[in-house]
Structure 1
Amino acid sequence: GFPDPILYGHLTDTLNGQIHVLLYILNDPDAPRFDVDRMPDGTATRFGTLRRNLEAEEAALEAGLAPGQVRRGLRLLPAAITAFESFVRSLGHDIYFVEPLYYHNAVIFENYGFGYQVGKKLMERIEAGFAEGSDLHAKLDDSTPFRRHDAEHSIRLRSWAIYDGLLGEPFTNVTMYKRIGQSAGINTRPSCAW
């Protein structure tokens, strides 16, 4: 059978009843699989937080995937967000929260109207850091396959570089929110395409 869920969601609620999306995955079952989530011996990588399968990550990078993806997605996020917002509304809420695991996730959520509860300054610092002559830009030195010299122009390649430790710390402590039917209108990376 198919080893991965096509749809996987990890949701929780807070003490005051707010909905938090901790993880949401839509896998394309027909796409090739990259074992970025496990080592060759089968040990879990925990999204690269405990250990990394560098060979699988490099193959995923070359195939056009972003950090954390074991397969290409189904490209159903707009429909999934609409359906999820209907669910949230049915619970009597007008707002929900997400915890982006990677830089590119935060950027994608910005595109769908999410705002920042925590982490906007980090995102603005990242944007400034990728400017010509800035600290992050200087670290794009091709020292690893994930730190390509041209990554400043690509959200996906930036995300790989950040995942590879470019910030000097993990990409964490970012919480975003979405008010149903409203857009926060935030764009922390105006100079960058996918």
Structure 2
Amino acid sequence: MPVRTLRQINLLPLWAREAIYRRLIPSQILKDHGIDPVLLRNQAGEPVVTFCCPSGTGSVRTEVRQRPGDRDCILFLQLADTAMGQLEVLLLIVNDLRSPRFHVDSEGGLPTKFGTVRRNIPEEVRAMEAGLAPGQVRKGLRISRMLLPLMEDFTASLGRDAFFLEPLAYHNAVLFEQHGFGYVSGKKLMEWIDREFHPGGELYRRLDGSSPFRRPEHAFTIRGRSWAIHDGILGRPWGGVKMYKQVGKDAGECTFPNAVY
């Protein structure tokens, strides 16, 4: 019987599940960090790749670390079956562990949950000045062009023609556009954001310097807009955007023409 869902994969023996899910890890990540591609151990012989895919569930969480006790993953990828029978990317995080860390993920010892429940403003300012985008604790590894084809191959192996995700921030949505994603919902919002960040627009007028995240020059870059939106310039929380990637096809979306990161 063909395997069509994560729930069906998770009914297989553990070794078989892990053999399937390890195909989602770009080989370049393993090579660059000295991780054995077969044993999934670092150069000290420690296991550094974990798959959380309990039998009876329709989800998988893949974590790749440099050392077992590291706080930050090199790669964190969480997938799930949806109630509508779709494959969805719940969370994707990639960290360059050689880059400085900014503690935007905690404030007063409590998690910020990507800035949705609380914010560490001083660390956010430091991260922004260092070139990071909202939600990043470190620079990324720029591996999307390697990872997304693996996701497409995995999706096709399940007999599906697309997978879905909800971008965590504005910059994620624009970058996913550049990788061929289309919109299930939120395209009109993205077009409105672009229009209103132009000189004379409502969002442009709100870039009044009232906070470090609302500088007029932020209107002209993906990252600058994303920080302003993270700071609440929309007047409501970011959300309502859902995207899809069709296997082997580029949706051709562009809601920020001639964008500069």
TM-score bin (small chain): over 0.9
Query: Any idea what SS the aligned residue of 2:139 has?
Result: coil
Determine whether 1:46 maps to 2:128. Answer: no
Partner AA of 1:92 in structure 2: G
Alpha-carbon RMSD across the aligned residues, in angstroms, is 1.0
- What is the one-letter code of the residue matched to 1:156? R
- Equivalence for 2:95: 27
Residue among 2, 16, 22 paired with 2:84: 16
Partner of 2:236: 169
* Distance in 1 between residues matched to 2:143 and 2:101, nearest whole Å: 19
Do residues 192 (structure 1) and 222 (structure 2) align? no
Of 78, 86, 92 in structure 1, the residue corresponding to residue 145 of structure 2 is 78
Task: Provide the rounded CA distance (Å) in 1 between the counterparts of 2:85 and 2:95.
Answer: 29
User: More deviation in 10-19 or 175-184?
Assistant: 10-19
Alpha-carbon offset, residue 9 of structure 1? 1.4
- Whether the 8 Å CA contact 1:2–1:29 is kept in 2: the answer is no
Check if 1:5 corresponds to 2:49: no
Cα distance in 2 for partners of 1:16, 1:161 equals: 34
Higher relative contact order (CA 8 A, sep 6+): 1
Q: How does 1:110-129 map to 2 (within 5 A)?
A: 110-129=177-196
Secondary structure at the aligned position of 1:97 is classed as strand
Matching residue's letter, 2:86: Q
Instruction: Tell me the distance in 2 between the aligned counterparts of 1:42 and 1:171.
Output: 24
SS of alignment partner, residue 200 of structure 2 = coil
Q: Using the TM superposition, give the Cα deviation of residue 13 of structure 1 relative to its aligned residue in structure 2, in angstroms.
A: 1.2
Q: Output the TM-score relative to the length of structure 1.
A: 0.97
TM alignment of 1:91-130, pairs within 5 A: 91-130=158-197
Amino acid at match of 2:219: E
How far 1:152 sits from its partner (Å)?
1.1
Cα drift, residue 191 of structure 1? 4.5
**Which 4+ runs in 1 deviate beyond 6 A?**
none
Between Structure 1 and Structure 2, how many residues are aligned? 193
**Unpaired stretches in structure 2, ≥5 consecutive residues:** 1-68
Offset of residue 89 of structure 1: 1.2
* Runs of 5+ consecutive residues of structure 1 not aligned to the other structure: none
Moved more, 113-122 or 10-19: 10-19
The CA distance in 2 between the partners of 1:70 and 1:2, in whole Å, is: 14
Which residue identity is paired with 2:193? I
Partner residue of 1:37? 105
Report if aligned partners of 1:117, 1:175 keep a CA contact under 8 Å in 2: yes
Q: Secondary structure at the match of 1:183?
A: coil
The question of whether the paired residues in 2 share the 8 Å contact of 1:37 and 1:47 is answered with: yes
Letter of the 1:19 counterpart: L
Deviation at 1:17, TM superposition (A): 2.1
